[in-house]
Amino acid sequence: MSKDVKRVPPHSQEAEQYVLGCLLLDSSAFEPVQVKIDSSMFYIPAHRDIYNALQAVFLSGIPVDIVSVAEQMKKDDTFTDAGGMEYLNKLASQVVSASSAEYYASIIFDKYILRSLISLSGQVFEDAYSDSKEAKELLEYNQQELFNLSEQADTKGVKKISDLVVRRLDYFRQVSKTKEIPNCIETGFADLDKLILGFRPGDFILIAARPSMGKSTLAMNMAQNMAIRKGKNVLFLSLEMSNEQLTDRMIASEARVPNLTLQRGEADQNEWAKVAATAGIIHESRIFLDDTSSITVADIRSKCRRFKAAENLDIIFIDYLQLIGSAVKKENRQQEVTEISRQLKILAKDLKIPVVAMSQLSRASEQRADRVPQLSDLRDSGAIEQDADMVMFIHRPQELEKNATTGIVNLIVAKNRSGSTGTVQLVWQGPIVRFDSYTKRDD
């Protein structure tokens, strides 16, 4: 008969002892150690008590040594249970060099993460068996818990302003030399990029307009520019159009051949040559399409996390926000959109990439004489305006709003948390499903 053997959770008694010994001998080791760990990460209770006492002495400004730590532990009523003076002397005596404290702190941290994973897995097991939560809710919760652990493992700790100043000066010098903003993704529209300096990691960006103003086309053109001309990995989630429709539009746009001409099979030899060349370019790009129509924000979060891990995702486009379903039913749609908006902002921050969502506008803009959109026109929830780091409106002059195929369109940057606002002009070319940059010239 086999006997059940109780497994001991991952830990390193030796690493814990060595770190505490280093701190007892050299208080300067506290700086790198406390960035990596806190007392809760020690597995052995006595070690947690000793570390708490060490930290209390260190923060009080009293010289850190065996005597001062012993006195603090007596005040905390942990001295005897932790082994008393004999154990403190043992900890200090086994240290060869306090310079190794940071390395052994890393071991303590790694074991803590492993124990946390075991604990989380056990909780998943219990929750799944209890059948008290819906499957999607349980998946979303535990994915978030796993992501929190991942974020904790990636933490860099508190930074001193002097270190940050030096780093930022180096950053500005680099920008001055290259004239490029590191980690920002340019849209491919020169005037717009000059104004906003591209999309930043962690930003939640909205492209909003009334129906049939070109939201999907502008987003698609940006995705093309980023993937084809900048080599970025782009995920385009379309809740409205099929993957085939999007692909057709991209081919027409890149080849500059009217989409309707392709759909009718009326392309001539020259146009077919353009299409064939364009198809090869698009084929090599890193654009990924998903036309799942019935999708919740929880589904999007799960899908994007998996995709980022597999494909090193750079940016996400979602077309469009008001079509996203809510996994948790609220009293009204406004509350649901508020929650969706907040979750998309969290997604951008968690994944450290831009999330660009299309959004409908209410009819309020049509009631004004100039019909220029405002932030208050964002449909269904004022929280969208609050959550977004950047909001852009597509506005066509009135003469272009009725069945126009070409013309100048205003792209209004109404909100930009990290930079300038203003208006840039684009050229709308409906037949080839494309926006182009427009630079005003002196005639």
User: Could you give the 3-state DSSP secondary structure of residue 227?
Assistant: helix
CATH number at residue 316: 3.40.50.300
- 136 assigned to some structural domain: no
**The last residue of a domain, from among 105, 131, 161:** 105
**The last residue of a domain, from among 105, 136, 162:** 105
**Whole-number Å distance between alpha carbons of 206 and 197:** 16
CATH number at residue 91: 1.10.860.10
| Per-residue confidence band for 163, with pLDDT thresholds at 50, 70 and 90 | low
> Are residues 72 and 189 both part of a single domain?
no
Which residues form the catalytic set? 240
> Are residues 194 and 325 both part of a single domain?
yes
**Whole-number Å distance between alpha carbons of 358 and 82:** 59
- 132 assigned to some structural domain: no
Residues 6 or more apart from 408 whose CB is under 8 A from it?
A: 397, 400, 425, 426, 427, 428, 438
pLDDT at residue 441, rounded to an integer: 41
38: domain range?
13-105
> Are residues 88 and 214 both part of a single domain?
no
pLDDT in tens, 202-255: 999 999 988 888 899 999 999 999 999 999 999 999 998 899 999 999 999 999
- 264 assigned to some structural domain: yes
Peptide bond into 320 cis (omega under 30): yes
pLDDT in tens, 363-397: 777 777 777 887 877 766 567 778 889 999 998 87
> Are residues 47 and 196 both part of a single domain?
no
- 171 assigned to some structural domain: no
CB 16 within 8 A of CB 42: yes
pTM of the model: 0.65
Task: For 180-210, give the DSSP string.
Answer: --TT-B--S-HHHHHHH-SBPTT-EEEEEES
CA angle 221, 364, 372 (to 5 degrees): 55
- 156 assigned to some structural domain: no
Q: Give the chain's domain count.
A: 2
> Are residues 94 and 219 both part of a single domain?
no
**The last residue of a domain, from among 105, 123, 150:** 105
Which has more confidence, 326 or 274?
274
**Whole-number Å distance between alpha carbons of 3 and 256:** 73
Residue 351, φ and ψ in degrees, nearest 5: -85, -10
Q: Please state the rounded mean pLDDT for residues 418-429.
A: 89
Task: For 310-360, give the DSSP string.
Answer: HH---EEEEE-GGG-B-SS--SSHHHHHHHHHHHHHHHHHHHTS-EEEEEE
> Are residues 98 and 205 both part of a single domain?
no
**Whole-number Å distance between alpha carbons of 315 and 312:** 10
- 397 assigned to some structural domain: yes
pLDDT in tens, 70-103: 999 999 999 999 999 999 999 988 887 777 888 8
- 123 assigned to some structural domain: no
- 277 assigned to some structural domain: yes
